[in-house]
Amino acid sequence: MNSFSNTNYSPSIKLADLVEKNAHLLLLLEHFEINFPLNNKSILQICEEKNIDTNLFFVILSLYNTTDFVPNKPLSFNDIVPIVSFLKKSHHFYSKEMYPNILQSIKEMAQVNNYKEMSLVEKFFINYFNEVTEHLNYENEIVFPYVLSLHEKIAHPNATKQKTQYSVMEYKEHHNDIEEKLTDLKNLLINYLPEKNDQVIRRKLFFKLYKLEYDLTIHSKIEDLLLIPLVGRMEQSLKNEQQ
């Protein structure tokens, strides 16, 4: 990832050129609902079409392209809408596509390796999948509506004010690390799980795990580095208004 350490992108760059250099950006496109073909369009053109601020786009792009990128420009309150939409799309990708897909591979592996340790791994993953689903549902049903309601209140200050009990600090506590068990699973498969003619299935599974892990890492960074500070500022701004 370090090879993309240049974070000074120009809005006139063709998006396709960047995708060519880092295949993980395919998921960035999908989460932003940018569809193919890209028709050699520049980043600026695409952002305008999709109503995404270029600054926000560059920040997320840099998170995908540079391992240790830390955003340094504050985002605007309006960015919250595309951020939430991006996160929701990624949730959909995880829970409807990636996790079921991985579960499928694990089941295939369990069929080839019918020893009891493998069934433990299957159970491990199913439990983990449930935890993740619960976490994603919590974000979809509680956190995101709350965040969008804050944005509504700021955008339309005269609408009826409902007092919300919830705060982003609560979310921060609830925000547990869903990548940990994924890493554990990878380690079990790489280092410990005995092999019984499953090299090909295992390799396919690895690619899926790496793909998911990559996207999840960035997903968490978007939540921790962009969403939570932005919502914190929105809460503060509303509080100041009320006083």
Partner 1 sequence: MNNNKHSHIIILEPSLIIAEGLVYLINKQSKSFEFSIINSLEKIDLITTRKKTELIIINPSYIQNNTKSFNNIKNDYHQIKWIGLIYAYFEQELLDKLDDIITISDTIEVIYGKINKLLNQENTCNKTNSPEILSDREIDVLKLLAVGLTNKEIADKLTISIHTVISHRKNISQKTGIKSVSGLTIYAVLQKIISTDSLSL
Positions touching partner 1 (CB under 8 A) are 116-117, 120-121, 123-124, 127-128, 180-181, 183-185, 187-188, 191-194
Residue by residue, DSSP assigns 189-224 as IIIISPPSS-HHHHHHHHHHHHHHHHHHHHHHHIII
Provide the 8-state DSSP code for 77.
G
Cis before residue 11, ω within 30 degrees of 0? no
Least distance to partner 1 from the beta carbon of 213, Å? Answer: 14
Apex 76 CA angle, 72 and 77, nearest 5: 135
**Choice between 43 and 193, CB closer to partner 1:** 193
Report, in Å, the least distance between residue 187 CB and partner 1. 4
Residue nearer to partner 1 on the CB measure, 88 or 181: 181
Cβ closest to partner 1, residue 21 vs residue 196: 196
- 33 vs 180, which CB is nearer to partner 1? 180
Q: How far is the CB of 179 from partner 1 (least distance, A)?
A: 10
Closest CA to 242 of 155, 154, 125: 154
91 vs 131: CA distance, rounded Å: 13
* Minimum distance, C-beta of residue 188 to partner 1, in the bound complex (Å): 6
Q: Where are the alpha helices (DSSP H) in 93-196?
A: 99-112, 116-138, 144-155, 168-174, 180-187
Q: Rounded to 10 degrees, what is the CA torsion of 63, 238, 146, 230?
A: 0
Minimum distance from CB of 129 to partner 1 (Å)? 12
Task: Provide the token pair at 243.
Answer: 């006083």
Cβ proximity to partner 1, 92 vs 181, nearer residue: 181
Nearer to partner 1 by C-beta: 40 or 127?
127
